Structure 1
Amino acid sequence: MKLIYTFAAIAVLFSSCGKNSDPIPNVAVNFEYPLTDPRLAGLTAGGGVVLLSGYGVAGVILYHEPDGSYAAYDRCSSYKPENKCAVTLDSDHLTVTDPCSGSKFSLADGGPVKGPATYSLKSYYVTVANYEIFVSN
């Protein structure tokens, strides 16, 4: 019985030393904009998307979800994030593509929908209050 507990403990130890579940580096993100700001005009309706430069590792994607909530993701692709390859918006406004690897990510949850990427885009916290959108990590 001791042998089983020893193997279980070793298995837990090795599984906790695996790859990081979020390979995109942590950088401070903390900004706010009024929703009436002309730069956010693309967010007026559900499904709207805005790409912002100067935040995160490679910029930030703001997505107005069809249910009325908002999501924010770093534009840095999770495939080889050390390259800081910024994803670009696809014409359907439902996905973004890493132009360096061809990986595609869903704006619904940031998850990869086409490889070689296997990790989601880094997401940020979004709060909307008094016609202001706040994004932070």
Structure 2
Amino acid sequence: MNRLIGLFLIVLLGTSCAKEENLIPDVPVNFSAPLTDPRLSRLSAAGGAVSLTSYGVAGIVIYRRADNAYVAYDRCSTVNPQAKNAVNIDDPNLTATDPISGAKYSLYDGSPVKAPAKTSLKQYNVTIAGNTIQVIN
């Protein structure tokens, strides 16, 4: 009987963990540009955000936080990630929304702020060297 209960618990834990897994594919990301690049003009002040296509799974979002730190996320929504729906930056630049599911994410840390999102956006590493920003994974 104890073996049966143990097996049941293992199966239950295994299936519940699989549902929360972030299935955004790992793809190479290597974006680099001077901060004076016109595409990045909205990053000149804290709270600015830009979205760029052709990087990551569905593009990338770069956000300049109030503490002047930069963060970057894949634009691929974590709701039905196999569809590769790109989130759009909201106005003001505090959140990004998946236009298909309505899921909303904080640009400060990528966390979900509105259902059906349960998992944060995939985050990439950002470095600043001199006047150049680089987003990599």
Q: How high is the TM-score relative to the length of structure 2? A: 0.87
Give distance in 1, aligned partners of 2:13 and 2:109: 25
Over residues 23-44 of structure 1, what are the superposed CA-to-partner deviations in whole Å (9 max), with x where a residue is unaligned? 2111110121111111100100
**Cα distance in 1 between the residues matched to 2:10 and 2:46:** 43
What is the Cα deviation at residue 12 of structure 1?
Answer: 7.4
Which amino acid letter does the alignment assign opposite residue 74 of structure 2? D
What is the correspondence of 1:1-137 to structure 2 with a 5 Å cutoff? 15=13, 18-19=17-18, 21-137=21-137
Unaligned segments of structure 2, at least 5 residues: none
Determine the C-alpha separation between the residues in 2 that align with 1:13 and 1:126.
Answer: 39
Structure-2 separation of matches of 1:72 and 1:14:
35
Aligned amino acid, residue 125 of structure 2: Y
Secondary structure of 1:25's aligned partner: coil
Q: For 2:109, what is the secondary structure of its paired residue?
A: coil
TM-score, scaled relative to structure 1: 0.87
Q: Gaps spanning 5+ residues in structure 1: where?
A: none
CA distance in 2, matches of 1:15, 1:123: 26
> In structure 2, how many angstroms separate the alpha carbons of the residues matched to 1:107 and 1:89?
9
How far is 1:22 from its partner?
Answer: 2.3
Q: How much does 1:21 deviate?
A: 3.4
CA distance 1:14–1:30, change in 2 (3 Å): farther
Alpha-carbon RMSD across the aligned residues, in angstroms, is 2.1
Q: Letter of the aligned partner of 1:71 in structure 2?
A: V
Aligned residues: 133
What displacement does 1:117 show?
Answer: 1.1
- For 1:37, the aligned partner's letter is D
Identity %: 50
CA distance in 2, matches of 1:23, 1:60: 17
